[in-house]
Structure 1
Amino acid sequence: MSVVIWADGRLHAPQDRIVTGVDHGLTVGDGVFETCAVYDGQAFALTRHLRRLARSAAGLGLPAPDEGAVRDGVAQVLAAAPDAGRVRVTYTGGPGPLGSHRDAPDTQRPVLVVLAGPASRAATSRVVRVPWVRNERSAVAGLKTTSYAENVVALAEAHRRGADEAVLANTVGELCEGTASNVLVERAGELLTPPLSSGCLAGITRELLLEWGAAAGLPVREAAPGELAYAVLEDVLRGTAYLALTGSIRNVSPVVAVDGAPVVAGELVQAAADLFQRRVGDDLDP
């Protein structure tokens, strides 16, 4: 299927010109976005995603997005593309200077674009380690911004090496996240995910798994700062720990290869994946 686009209150064809060449999101990456999976024609966990969109916008210094307009755009693209697998909401600073500075707040004209398109979910994932790191002290740490060049480079390296995701450390050697996923480690009878202090994104799937796992009696928790070193991936290779990725399209995806070497999915990792799949059908806006 092709991509369906909404902007300025109406639907557009993929070839329509929607944003100007001086849009700050295009020239300097001054924008934020969200991606939702779509089930039965409805964006999954849309309220949580919109809450995070607003947090990211505030963190970047953008005006609060109009939630009503976003919901209208989502409804329109999904009505036009009922078989879509994902919805993406992009919110930028709008037309601005060619440099990094912005126009005065009272003259800003933020741009909102909503897309619906295909998506496919793989049951398992293959990852590689890369030499680049997340800066947990960055001004945009934990924000879902359109400044994705670092992720593009890291993911291209993963694909070059036959994997579908790259897993990164932060500047102090802690396990952090993937380019578009959070990570989950099974070790010593627990499931641990890096703390937000590591610089990772506060993923919606990560958030839901922590809530749903606790309610189901699954031993899953956020690790303490420093508890998960990047070197835990050596334990995964040795088979004394296990790894999974979480994300809006992946859901909970057991990792079956690290740096090209096969690894197995742990029992708790598989239980987490099964639990998430069951719970998705209970409520599409949990």
Structure 2
Amino acid sequence: MSRNAQNGRRVVAEKGSGTQQGDGLVVWADGRLLAPGERVLSPVDHGVTVGDGVFETCGVVDGHAFALTRHLHRLRVSARGLGLEDPDEDLVRTAVSAVLERAPGAGRLRITVTAGLGPLGSGRTPGEPQTVVVVAGPGGATAQPTPARAVRAPWVRNERSAVAGLKTTSYAENVVALARATAQGADEALLANTVGGLCEGTGSNVFVEVGDEMLTPALSSGCLAGITRALVLEWAADADLPVREAAPGELPWSVLEDVVARGSGLALTGSVRTAVPVVALDGVALEVSPLTQQVVDLYAARAADDVDP
């Protein structure tokens, strides 16, 4: 074990951690870039023991984190939702610059902030410094966006949860649902909420064509306030495309039956996924409708104009 001189945290350094240069990952933690093969992990970090942390994942375009300002704003909102102090934005930006300078070909960036060291239970240690980890790696917005294949999950989001709409490190529900989707040959699982409304995917927001419009569930459904979701809504409004947030209750779970019946009209958005059409739902092939294609093309064009919109 070693003791970090900056904040006195006890950490465990392990070999073979996945920070090897060959894996394409560059890791910043506890105020420094890690050496290849080095891992810094506290076994009693509250982010590890109980998932007491928040995170953001950004696409990387030409060596820059896409929409970083929006992501840092949402990181702060999620931290406040958990009752954590605001993350040190200057420190995070410094870490982002450091990892992207070391990984010029990266396509994905992840920022994780936890409550820091804590007890083995749910209580926190008052005054404990936060843990901040920033990782750059391959994949993401520099790659060609890939149409999605989705399935409907049998589980639901709790729109009344204490962490509804927050991007926390408590991601086990998503892991289980996505594993089920992968086993069925898909790459995303869609979830309802507890009142029978369409909510979101495990790592994406969903847009559905209804009539002559494309709608996305309201935030009151329990879905995450996605960065790409917000940009699609803003840019579609600028372009006079009929895309909007649905009114509460306007997108029931059964709307997906309509999608299957007509065989088109579904899209997903996410920071790494970008905006893509869904070409299969529960194994049923879907066509890419003209409106969906317009939305996908609009996002690609506008995202290319500004790395931090």
User: What is the TM-score normalised by the length of structure 2?
Assistant: 0.90
Q: Give the 5 Å matches for 1:132-171.
A: 132-171=155-194
Are the counterparts in 2 of residues 126 and 258 from structure 1 also a CA contact under 8 Å?
Answer: yes
Structure 2 counterpart of 1:85: 107
Q: Equivalents in 1 of 2:292, 2:36: separation in Å?
A: 39
- Relative distance call for 1:124 and 1:65 in structure 2 (3 A) is same
Asked whether 1:252 is paired with 2:272, we answer: no
The match for 1:74 among 96, 100, 111 is 96
Structure 2 counterpart of 1:267: 290
Q: Single out whichever of 65-74 and 8-17 deviates more from structure 2.
A: 8-17
Asked whether 1:112 is paired with 2:132, we answer: yes
CA drift at 1:240: 6.5
- AA partner of residue 158 (structure 1): A
Structure 2 counterpart of 1:54: 76
Q: Unpaired runs of 5+ in structure 1?
A: none
Structure 2 counterpart of 1:21: 43
The match for 2:230 among 207, 216, 225 is 207
Higher RCO, Cα 8 Å, sep 6+: 1
CA drift at 1:241: 5.3
The match for 1:187 among 210, 215, 227 is 210
Are the counterparts in 2 of residues 232 and 241 from structure 1 also a CA contact under 8 Å?
Answer: no
Structure 1 counterpart of 2:116: 94
CA drift at 1:250: 1.1
Moved over 6 A (4+): none
CA drift at 1:187: 1.7
Q: Equivalents in 1 of 2:189, 2:299: separation in Å?
A: 23
Structure 1 counterpart of 2:14: none
Structure 1 residues 81-103: Cα deviation after superposition (integer angstroms, max 9, x where no partner): 01000110000011001001111
- AA partner of residue 115 (structure 1): V
SS in 1 for 2:203: coil
Aligned length: 284
SS in 2 for 1:167: strand
Asked whether 1:65 is paired with 2:87, we answer: yes
Cα RMSD (Å): 1.1
SS in 1 for 2:39: coil
SS in 2 for 1:281: helix
Structure 2 counterpart of 1:284: 307
SS in 2 for 1:98: coil
User: What is the TM-score normalised by the length of structure 1?
Assistant: 0.97
Structure 1 counterpart of 2:154: 131
Q: Equivalents in 2 of 1:247, 1:235: separation in Å?
A: 23
- Relative distance call for 1:152 and 1:117 in structure 2 (3 A) is same
